[in-house]
Chain A
């Protein structure tokens, strides 16, 4: 498992760079991860990231898909595309320190 350093934080990641250790994450690190991929974090964006963290834990280790973030988390799909441009599901997962969502829909 590769170890990489993002903004001074040493973290375990997969081959692509997604974090593999849930407990290595904190919001300060999340900020650095967002900066690393050029995403600006608003309050709403943090709301979505916190939902991902909660839902992942509650669902036994499954990263929610974009549709789940919208239907279960209650976040507007259009806004998610604005906050995390082009690839919202993957970018949210990255910032939240979770694996890419495995579900199709």
Chain B
């Protein structure tokens, strides 16, 4: 190396183990299509930054890791006043939101918008997260409520753990509840 002392080199900050490895735990509790993505996107970003990641699926979030449901998540404009029509800046009236056909249409629209950005569907996204070293855990109580065992869940899920296990596992972690 003959670079000068003041060479500008990015600080990737990945060789400083003195403060321990940064750890992020995200609780995914929703099974609506739009609410599945925040956890996946942030979790994936964390992995890309060298952060240890744990995704914990509970309650409605179990649909994200149940094969047969994970690729069939829906989005409903019902109760969502921020849902706009694709053209213009028109809000969908809440009285129309529960009408037949609205949910499939809104789901299809959202899926297309997500795909157009090159963002994968839920199963492929989870596979990418697992390949990047992320850990997937299912909630014991939710598994019991849904009458599923580890064999019934997406293959990337490591284990079914209870609330105490989760608290123990996430010692020192930053937490996000979605």
A-to-B contact residues, CB < 8 Å: 2, 4-8, 13, 15-18, 35-38, 66-68, 70, 76-78, 81, 85-91, 94, 103-105
Contact = CB atoms under 8 A, between A and B. Distances in A.
Given A7-B1, A15-B8, 14 more contacts: A4-B9, A8-B3, A16-B8, A36-B3, A36-B9, A37-B12, A66-B48, A67-B44, A81-B133, A86-B49, A87-B14, A87-B48, A88-B48, A94-B10
Interface in B1-49: 1-4, 6-12, 14-15, 41, 44-45, 48-49
Given A5-B4, A104-B41, A67 B120 contact: yes
30 contacts: A4-B6, A5-B4, A6-B3, A7-B2, A8-B3, A13-B8, A15-B8, A16-B10, A17-B7, A17-B9, A17-B10, A35-B1, A36-B7, A38-B15, A66-B48, A67-B120, A68-B118, A70-B128, A77-B128, A81-B132, A81-B133, A87-B12, A87-B48, A87-B50, A90-B10, A103-B117, A103-B118, A105-B119, A105-B120, A105-B125
Contacts of B49: 86-87
A13 B8 CA distance: 8
Interface in B45-78: 45, 48-50
B171 interface: no
Interface secondary structure of B, over-half rule: loop
A25 B113 CA distance: 36
